[in-house]
Amino acid sequence: MKTVKELEDLARKVRINALRGIHAAQSGHPGGSLSIADILVPLYFNIMNIDPDNPNMKNRDRFVLSKGHACPALYATLAERGYFPPEDLLTFRKIGSKLQGHPSMKMCPGIDMSTGSLGQGFSAAVGMAIAAMINKNPGYIYVITGDGELQEGIIWEAAMSASKNKLDNLIAVVDWNNLQIDGIVDNVKKVAPIDKKFEAFGWKTIMCDGHNIPEILNAFEEAKSIKGYPVVIVAKTHKGQGVSFMKDAAGWHGKAPNDEQFEAALKELEGDI
Amino acid sequence: MADVKKKIATRDAYGQFLVEYGEERESLIAMSADLSGSNKTDGFEKAFPDRFIQAGISEQDMFAEAAGIAHMGNVVAASTFAMFAAGRAYEIIRNSIAYTKANVKVCATHGGITVGEDGASHQTFEDLALMRVIPNMTVINPADAVSTKILLRELFETKGPAYVRLGRSGVPVIYDEDADIRIGKANIVREGSDAVVIATGLMVSEAMDAAEILSKEGINIRILDMHTIKPIDKEAVIQSAKDCKAVVTAEEHSIIGGLGGAVAETLACNYPCKMAMVGQKDTFGESGKPAELLKKYGMTADDIVEAVKSLI
């Protein structure tokens, strides 16, 4: 278990290493990676029952990054947690690397589901939670989706399955940064009100500040205490959080920083540690 | 060969298999996107209610969930009509099932034109082509009830993604229960050397009827049951082409990209020879009785006879 201060420092490290990989590849998705760093770190260090030395441990908790394009943050978190050496992050998106542009469970240890095509990871996580119930596997299934991703119809098909099957072993997080490639989510195709939509689909919802680690830890603990319902944590986040010129800018969804921008971003992030 | 008068739909054989196999294998989970009575998962539902997942009218969700379930250590049989499996859920089957090598068997019923009265929206002639082109997929299309059960057993005993096409209408039983039928190995159901008809699914029994007609005219055809569309039995295709010099493919599927395509690819690269294809000719179907539709769209014994004669 890490202290809040340790988790905050780790989240900064994850941001730095995620950007390092994207910069080395000159390709990838910085905005959405920075917006989920403060969710992934508490999850992987304090919440989930996992063993980096035994990534396929039978009754482990599982994690699905349904917004697979944000994998630089996931890879950096897995590296900090000891699944593979942080140097490997520099192979991101390069030929022969286990760190594919979108996560591949067959190539990278610690990845519980291959994702990239939006919506499918969420639905697969529902399937995992159903199987865990049938198999009497005590593990929890965690899944992070983007808010723009909620425009995919499969999300709502799966949301109905989850409540129908009373999946209280399923905890979803919506990374509510309100930006997608073509602009503001609610202008592109309105998904708000996210909490009321999930409630109407039979879920329990928890709202939290997605960059406030104590709030995030509390939200996960509260989610685990709810029985008989799947739970969604709607985490208010900022795309590009931690780097002033990337923050809340849709243009940084899928663009790698050049050398100068990368140095400027590092200076901001490292200044905090 | 068994009594050819007995007709059983391959979907019924699938339903029986699920119940039998469910007894043996506790990790088997069956799913249906509504339609449980039609796709024959209802027997499993009754026998093992705790291991049956009703996904509702959400084919895409069903197949992505199936991938998740499989990655928890289960084997999954997920069923809906072939149109909505291979068609509607195509990209989910590709990315969440095949790419991840999930142990999901896509058991698609109501393939082809013999869906009948439901008409064009429910008749798929593209499924074998769509599924065949996806890496990691095994694709089978059994000819009768007996081979369905034998092939399903081997398929479910082998880890990995697979697509099985099953039919709505009754088809003659052509195999004995102890027949030697293996995935990836074509069965010679009739010997002959004037031409070879490589058939799949219900077209195998049409080919057998064609053989009777042709034999009266002194033409002896070989018939291969190509129940496995992928991996195609290249050796059997090439050997039969060498022995018979003329090759006819017969499928209840588009002549583009399915069995005909797979055989043509094999022969073009290894042993080019005269070829004709019997199947749906790049057009949609319509409502009607299965037998009427097979006749109108050119997928009967008579069409096979004509194709054979065009080559020799």
Closest by Cα among B201, B137, B215 to B172: B201
CA distance A218 to chain B (A): 27
CB contact under 8 A, B68 and A154: no
Q: In sequence order, what DSSP letters do the residues of A141-184 get, joined into one string?
A: EEEEEESGGGGSHHHHHHHHHHHHTT-TTEEEEEEE--EETTEE
B67 near A CB under 8 A: yes
**Residue pLDDT, tens place only, A211-266:** 999 999 999 999 999 999 999 999 999 999 999 999 999 899 999 999 999 999 99
- What's the longest Cα–Cα distance across chain A? 53
Whole-angstrom Cα distance, residue B101 to residue B75?
12
C-beta of residue B273 within 8 angstroms of C-beta of residue B264: no
**B169: pLDDT strictly greater than 90:** yes
| Residue A259 backbone phi and psi in degrees, to 5 | -60, -45
3-state secondary structure of B55: coil
- Stretch A11-25: mean pLDDT: 98
The C-alpha atoms of residue B106 and residue B112 are separated, in whole angstroms, by 16
Give the model's pLDDT for residue B18. Answer: 98
Overall average pLDDT of the A154-162 stretch: 98
Domains and CATH numbers, chain B: 7-172 (3.40.50.970), 187-311 (3.40.50.920)
Amino acid at B71: H
Q: Which of A132, A135, A157 sits opposite B60 (nearest CB)?
A: A157
pLDDT surpasses 60 at B129: yes
Residue B99: its chain A contacts at CB < 8 A?
104, 106, 114
Residues of chain B neighbouring A118 (CB-CB closer than 8 A):
none
Q: Does B72 touch chain A (CB under 8 A)?
A: yes
Q: In the prediction, which pLDDT does A271 show?
A: 81
For B192-251, the pLDDT digits (tens) are 999 999 999 999 999 999 999 999 999 999 999 999 999 999 999 999 999 999 999 999
B95 at interface of A, judged by CB pairs closer than 8 A: yes
Q: Which amino acid is at A159?
A: A
Positions of B annotated as catalytic residues are 59
**What is the model's pLDDT at position B2?**
52
> What's the start-to-end Cα distance of chain A, in Å?
20
Mark yes or no for CB contact B65/A130 under 8 Å.
Answer: yes
> B58 contacts in A (CB within 8 Å)?
154, 157-158, 160-161
> How far is Cα A204 from Cα B119, in angstroms, rounded to an integer?
43
Pick from A125, A135, A164: which is nearest to B68 by CB? A125
N residues, chain B: 312
Distance of CA A108 to the CA centre of its chain: 16
Q: Read off the tokens for B45.
A: 């539902």
| CA distance readout (Å), B114 to A163, B257, B294 | 37, 19, 7
Residue among A176, A159, A190 at smallest CA distance from A233: A176
Q: Is B65 on the interface with A (CB under 8 A)?
A: yes
pLDDT averaged over every residue in chain A: 97
- A interface with B, Cβ–Cβ < 8 A, is 58, 64, 104-106, 112-114, 116-117, 119-120, 123-132, 134-135, 137, 153-154, 157-158, 160-161, 164-165
Cα distance between the two ends of chain B: 28
Query: To the nearest whole angstrom, how far is the Cα of A92 from the nearest Cα of chain B?
Result: 19
Instruction: Collect all residues of chain A within an 8 Å Cβ-Cβ radius of residue B72.
Output: 127-128, 131-132, 135, 137
Q: Is the pTM of this model over 0.95?
A: yes
Q: Which of B72, B75, B136, B159 to mutate to test the interface with A (most CBs of A within 10 A)?
A: B72
Q: Write the pLDDT tens digit of every residue in A44-80.
A: 999 999 999 999 999 999 999 999 999 999 999 999 9
- Tally of CA atoms within 13 A in the half-sphere of B62 that contains its CB: 31
Q: Which residues of A touch B101 (CB under 8 A)?
A: 106
Helix axes A4-25, A71-81, angle to 10 degrees: 120
Distance separating alpha carbons of residues A83 and B240, to the nearest angstrom: 53
Ramachandran sector of residue A89 (left: φ over 0; alpha: ψ -120 to 50; beta: rest): alpha
Query: Predicted ipTM?
Result: 0.96
* Subunit contact A161:B74, Cβ cutoff 8 A: no
Res A272: pLDDT: 57
Provide the CATH topology of domain A4-270. Answer: Rossmann fold (3.40.50)
Alpha helix segments (H runs only) across B48-107: 59-70, 82, 90-92
Q: What are the backbone dihedrals phi and psi of residue B182, each rounded to the nearest 5 degrees, phi first? A: -130, 145
Please report residues of A whose CB lies closer than 8 A to that of B74: 131, 134-135
**Cβ–Cβ of A128/B55 closer than 8 Å?**
no
Strands, E, within chain B: which ranges?
7-8, 28-32, 52-54, 75-81, 104-109, 138-140, 162-165, 171-172, 187-190, 195-199, 221-225, 228-230, 246-254, 274-280
pLDDT, residue A153, reads: 98
| Predicted confidence (pLDDT) at residue A273 exceeds the cutoff of 70 | no
Delimit the domains of chain A by residue range: 4-270
